[in-house]
Amino acid sequence: MTQSLLFLGDSYTIGEGVSPQESWPWQLIERLKQGALPAWGCQWGPPRTIAQTGWTAGELLQNLPKSGLGEGFWGACVSAGVNDQYRQLAIEECVEHLEQLLQVAAAACGYRKQHLWMVGIPDWSQSPFAADRDRQQIASQIASFNRAISGLADRWEIPWIDLNAASQPHCHPKEAFYTSDKLHPSSLQYRLWVDAILEKLA
């Protein structure tokens, strides 16, 4: 029987600027098919992604009723919040919406909390897009959001994946680390995200 994972998020989840197969949910599924997590040994189908570029956590929540979301997923991931940070929205409001999203995601995978996880906000402060912005302020705001989001995951007793290191160019040339908009990750960066996710879920 084919199993499916549910991904709720934003432009990072759909992989803005890359092909669907290069997005991190698709890359994750491919790694699972290769046996990256033996305990998750299933016959995997394509990921089910509900996300849109620009969506805040609240907008994602508002659009779920018309998404045709069902149940019966093997597991689910909630990955949102960067647009809340970008628009300077309240952290408390973002966390409230994320908790409601977790409730939806938990129901979609039969309340199997061992198959439910969250992904943090990547640090886009080092992207070329942020060159004319206050990089230090952006990084500080992202860190504040991530502390609150990881605290929510702790309360739910589910994994939270920190993408800070995986979203830093380090030794990679920036032109290979981002798409043409100089903000969204390339397939290379998404591969590093998947490495971080698999390490946490193992």
Amino acid at 157: E
Predicted structure pTM score? 0.96
Local structure of residue 122 (DSSP, 8 states)? -
> What are the residues facing 119 on neighbouring strands?
161
CA distance 11 to 55: 8
Amino acid at 185: P
Tokens 């994946």 correspond to what residue?
Answer: 161
Contact 4, 74 (CB under 8 A): yes
Phi, psi values for residue 160, rounded to 5°: -125, 130
Determine how many CB atoms are found less than 10 A away from the CB of residue 152: 18
Tokens 């912005």 correspond to what residue?
Answer: 133
Q: In tens digits, what is the pLDDT along the chain, a chain of 202 residues?
A: 899 999 999 999 999 999 999 999 999 999 999 999 998 988 999 999 999 999 999 999 999 998 988 889 999 999 999 999 999 999 999 999 999 999 999 999 999 989 999 999 999 999 999 999 999 999 999 999 999 999 999 999 999 999 999 999 888 888 899 999 999 999 999 999 999 999 999 9
pLDDT given for residue 170 in this prediction: 85
> How many structural domains compose the chain?
1
pLDDT given for residue 144 in this prediction: 98
Of the candidates 41, 34, 11, the one whose C-alpha atom is nearest the C-alpha of residue 23 is 11
- First-to-last alpha carbon distance for the chain, in angstroms, is 23
Contact 47, 9 (CB under 8 A): no
pLDDT given for residue 171 in this prediction: 81
Determine how many CB atoms are found less than 10 A away from the CB of residue 127: 23
Query: What CATH number has the domain bearing residue 185?
Result: 3.40.50.1110
Show the CA angle centred on residue 65, arms to residues 64 and 70, nearest 5°: 85
Structural domain that includes position 42: 2-201
